Amino acid sequence: MTDEQGFQKPTPGFATIAVHTGHNPDKWNGAVAPPVVMSTMYKQAPEGHKGYVYSRSANPMRDTLQECLAALEGAKYAFTFASGQGATTSITSLLSKGDHLLSIDDVYGGTSRLMRENLPRHGIDVTFTDITDLNKLENAIQDNTKMVWLETPTNPNCTVVDLAATVQAVKKRGDIIVVVDNTFLTCYLQRPLDFGADIVMYSLTKYMNGHSDVVMGAAVLNSQEIADKLRIIQKCKYCNKTIETSLGLGSKIET
């Protein structure tokens, strides 16, 4: 689309979003690179806090990274965690005793271990099936299924799931949260939210970081209801990463 002068309206590309989103030099006394804020506590005004209270709950470095991740995904919210496993643990903490989780059978080994050995101890039923077969998927969904866990391509076998068809099949069965581990393709090549998924999960350690020197995970989403729950989980479980790591990963995403 063009404006009245005949010029194409500027639309920021992927690289522009990666470099600039979350950066606010005007707020940082003109600093082009995000300043390192090491403080764990923040001065409070008599009438109430101005946004930050304690660095475990929120801090400028983490917020800058999360804002960038959300923008790259075309999403409203992003939450970072100490690792991909930290993200997985936090996302599955949305489930309650008596709930059922259905996962792709070719899921990442660390995820499989968590689901097989940890979740049942909390009263969560877990089933693995070949989700690439829609008939098997539909037959595996139960009345108490609250979450379906997808991974495409899978690590390490690179099994590919038809996201559009799979999400549609799941959503026909009720209000079920669909999670997609998008670690291998990243938001540069695949945006699961555009196919109707509820949460996109990342091990940022791998391609999003790209330098084999940072361990971190993330969950990206649009639902305010789920975001409010994840924010509490992130704060209470202390699954977040250090300020320095947030800054380091943020600079790597730019490249």
CA distance 191 to 163: 10
Which element (helix H / strand E) includes 70?
Answer: helix 60-73
Q: What angle do CA 17, 22, 27 make, to 5 degrees?
A: 135
56 is catalytic: yes
**Catalytic site residue from 206, 231, 237, 252:** 206
Asked if residue 211 lies in contact with residue 205, where contact means CB atoms within 8 angstroms, the answer is: no
113 is catalytic: no
How many Cβ atoms from other residues are within 10 Å of residue 154's Cβ?
A: 21
Q: What angle do CA 121, 124, 129 make, to 5 degrees?
A: 115
**Catalytic site residue from 27, 50, 56, 136:** 56
**Catalytic site residue from 62, 106, 108, 146:** 108
CA dihedral defined by 244, 93, 180, 130, rounded to 10 degrees?
140
**Catalytic site residue from 62, 77, 106, 181:** 181
Q: How far is CA 215 from the centre of its chain?
A: 14
Residues designated catalytic = 56, 108, 181, 206
